[in-house]
Amino acid sequence: MTRRGAGLALLACGIAGLPFLASSAYLLTVFNIIGLSTIVTLGLILLGSSGQVSLGQAAFYGLGAYGSALLSRDLGWSPWATIAIATAATAGVAYLVGVPTLRLAEHFFVLATLGFGIIVNVLMVQLVDVTGGASGLRDIPGLRIAGVSLAADRAFYYLVWGLALAALLLAQNITSHRTGRALRAILGSEVGAAALGVEVSRYKMQVFVASAAYAALAGGLYAHYIRFISPSPFSLYASLFFLIMAVVGGLTNIWGGLFGAALITILDQVIRAQVPRVFPRVGGEYQTAIYGILLVLIMIFFPSGIVRGALDLGRLLRPVGPEPAKGGSA
Amino acid sequence: MLALLPQLLLTGITIGSIYALIALGFVLIYGVTGILNFAQGEFSMLGALVCATLLAWHLPLATAALISVAATCVLGALTERLAVEPAFGAHPLTLIIITFGVSMALRGLALMLWGADPYALPEFTPGPPLVLLGGVLVRQAVWAIGLSVAVVGALFTFFVRTVPGAAVRACADNAFACRLVGISPRRVSLAAFTLSAALGAVAGIVITPITGATYDMGLGLGLKGFVAAVIGGLGNAPAAVVGGYLVGIIESLATGYLVPGYAGAITFLVLLAVLFLQREGVLHGAQRRQA
C-alpha cells in the first residue's frame, strides 16, 4: 500500500470513528457542515489548480440547493434523483457560463464569476413565485434509504463524509495524472502549456464544470439536510467564505481543502460564540474583520496555504546539517 | 412613462458622478500597480462615517470633511504599506484576494466601531430642491455632480501638467523604465493608493446627505465603480468617468422602468456583456477602431 493510500485509510477510519467520540448533536451538525464545505472547497481547489479563482462558487452551491429542493418538493421526485439532476443541470449552467468567460484573463474571470454570483443571488431574492424570495423555501423533503430517514445528524454524517471522501479521491485522481500535469503546466504559464500541445481551454473548462458540480452536489445535500433554504447562504459573502477555506488549505492543494474547511468552520463557531462577549453591541457579520485580516496575512506569508507554509517553516527552523533525503520513491 | 425620463436621468447622473469618482480610483491603482483594488468602496464608507462622527463632535462640516478625507488617505497609504507592498510581485490573483481581505477587514471593523445603524450628514447647502427640465434635483445632487467634475478636472490637470503626475503616468506605462530614470514604482504605488483613498472618501462624503451612510455601503459603491471602470477599459481614466455616468444612468433607468429589485442584477449583466464583448471595454474599443 502506498503512503497516500495508508493516509487515506487512516483518515477514513478517523472520520468513521469521530461520531463515537464526540456525539453531541451540536458537534455532529458542525462536522456535517465541515463535510459540505469540504466538497465545495475541493471544487474551488480543482479550479485553483488551473490558475483560476471563482467568486461565484456560492451561486453554484445555491443552484444545486434550489434546483434539488424545488424538483423534490413541487414535483414529488425522490431527493436522490433531484440531487443528481440539479448537479448535472448546474454543471450545464457552468459550461454555458464558462464558454465566454474562461477565455478572459484571470482577473477578468474573477470579475465575471463575481457578476454571475450576484445575478444568481438577486434572482433567488426576486423570483418570489419560484424561490419564495427572501423568506426562502420550507418543507423540503429529507433523504431516505429504503424507507429509513437520513435526517438524523449521525446518519447524514456518514452520507456527507462518504461523499466528501469520494470527492477527495476523485479530485486527487484528476490532479495527479495526465490532467493534473496539464493543469500544473497551465498554472505555470498558459502560453507555455499551449505551446507544448496542452489544450488549455478544454482543461480549464473541465475543471470549471467539475468545480460547479462539486458545489451543486454539496448544495443539494445541504437543502435536504437543513430542509429549509433562503438566499443568504448563497451570497457573495458565502463565496468569499469558501475562497478563504480554499486559500487557508492552499489553493492548489487537494488535502488542504479538508483542512481549510475544518479550520474555518470551527473558527467561525468559536468566533460566533466568543466575539459577542467582547463587543456586545455588534450583530451580523462582524466576524468579517477577523476573516479579512486572516486572508491578508495568509496571502502575504503563506500564499500556498497554511499546511505547506508550516512545512516550509519547519524546514527553515531545522538545525543546519546535511539535507534530509526526500521521502523515498514518492 | 416618458414623463419619468428627465427625473431618472437626473438621478442617474447624480449617482453616476459618485461612481465616476470611485471608478477613477480603481483605474489609478490598476494603471500603476496592475492590482484590482476591491477595497476601493470601503474608502468611501470610511470617509462618510468618519465625517459623520466628526460632525457629531460639533466640528464645522467643511473641517470634518477635510479631516475625514485626510484620515482616509492615511488609511489608503496604510493599506498599501501593510497589505499590498509586502506581497509586491506576487501572482495577480494573490493580490486580488488580498484586497478582498482588506475590504472584509475594513467592513468588519467599521461594524464594530459604528454599529449597523445608518448615519446621516446634512446637505452642504440646505434649501428647497431645484426643478430642472421637468425633473427635481436636490441641492446636494448639484454638489455631487459639481464636485466630481471639479475633482476629475483637478486630477487630469495633475496628471498632465505636473511632474509627480507625469511620474505616475510613466509608471503606469512602464515601471521598469521608471526605475531606470529614478522613479520608484513603490513610492508611486503608495501615492496611487493614497490618492484613490481620497477620491473614494470624497465620493462617500458627497453622497451621504442623499443616501445616508452605513458600514456596508462600500461593497455596493465599490462594485458599481468597478463595473464603470471595466466599461471604460480599466486602463483609461476619461473612459472610466464616462463609464461611471453610464452605470448610474443604466441603474436609474432600470430602477424606474423595471422592478427595482432587479436593478442590482442589471448592472452586473452589463458588466458580463462588456466582458464578453470586449475585454478592453466598450469605450476603449470604440476609440481604438476610430484611431
- Give the closest of A114, A125, A243 to B261, CB-based: A125
CATH of the domain at B276: 1.10.3470
Q: Where are the alpha helices (DSSP H) in B115-184?
A: 139-161, 163-173, 175-180
Q: Is residue B122 part of a domain?
A: yes
Contact flag B107-A116 (C-beta cutoff 8 Å): no
In a domain, B215, yes or no: yes
Least confident range of A187-201, A228-242, B99-113: A187-201
Q: Give B164's Cβ-side CA count (13 Å radius).
A: 9
Evaluate if residue B202 carries a pLDDT over 50.
Answer: yes
Q: Would B143 be classed as within a structural domain? A: yes
- Give me the number of domains chain B comprises: 1
Tens digit of each residue's pLDDT (9 = 90 or more) over B133-151:
777 888 888 888 998 899 8
Whether the pLDDT of residue B288 is over 60: the answer is: no
Contacts with A34 (C-beta within 8 Å, 6 or more apart), sequence order? A261, A262, A265, A266
User: Looking at CA atoms only, how far is residue A261 from chain B in angstroms?
Assistant: 18
- The 10s digit of each residue's pLDDT in A153-175 is 888 899 999 999 999 989 888 88
Q: Which of B86, B104, B111 sits opposite A240 (nearest CB)?
A: B104
Contact B104 A283 (CB under 8 A): no
Contact A118/B at CB under 8 A: yes
pLDDT at A282: 56
Is B291 inside any structural domain?
A: no
Q: What is the DSSP string of B58-95?
A: T--HHHHHHHHHHHHHHHHHHHIIIIIGGGTTS-HHHH
CA distance A20 to chain B (A): 38
Residue A51 with chain B: CB contacts under 8 Å: 93
A103: nearest CA partner in chain B: B276
Query: Would you tell me how many other CB atoms lie within 10 Å of the CB of residue A233?
Result: 17
Q: How far apart are CA A83 and CA A72, in angstroms?
A: 9
* Per-position DSSP letters for B111-123, written without gaps between them: HHHH-SS-B----
Give a yes or no: residue B24 inside a domain. Answer: yes
The residue range of the domain holding B149 is 2-285
Asked if residue B92 belongs to a domain, the reply is yes
- What is the model's pLDDT at position B279? 52
Distance CA A79, CA A11 (A): 29
Distance CA A96, CA A94 (A): 5
CA distance A47 to A54: 8
DSSP per-residue string spanning A37-59: HHHHHHHHHHHHTTT---S-HHH
The grid cell for B25 is 480610483
Domain-wise residue ranges, chain A: 18-235
| SS3 (DSSP) at A190 | helix
pLDDT digits (tens, 9 = 90+) for A266-299: 888 888 777 777 766 655 567 788 888 888 888 8
Cell numbers for A128, please give them. 418570489
Cα–Cα distance measured from residue B91 to residue A105, given in angstroms and rounded to the nearest whole number: 13
Residue A132 CA from chain centroid, whole number: 26
8 A C-beta contact, residue B107 and residue B169 = no
Which amino acid is present at B58? H
Question: Measured at the alpha carbon of residue B240, what is the angle toward residues B234 and B245, in degrees to the nearest 5?
Answer: 145
Whether residue A109 is predicted with pLDDT greater than 80 in this model: the reply is yes
pLDDT tens digits, one per residue of A10-34: 888 888 888 888 778 888 889 999 9
Residue A327 is predicted with a pLDDT of: 44
CB contact under 8 A, B93 and A51: yes
The SS3 assignment for A161 reads helix
* Residue B290 domain-assigned (yes or no): no
Whether residue B176 has pLDDT greater than 70: yes
pTM of the complete model: 0.86
Instruction: Give the angle subtended at the CA of A241 by the CAs of A238 and A246, to the nearest 5°.
Output: 130
The closest of A259, A240, A266 to A309, measured between CA atoms, is: A259
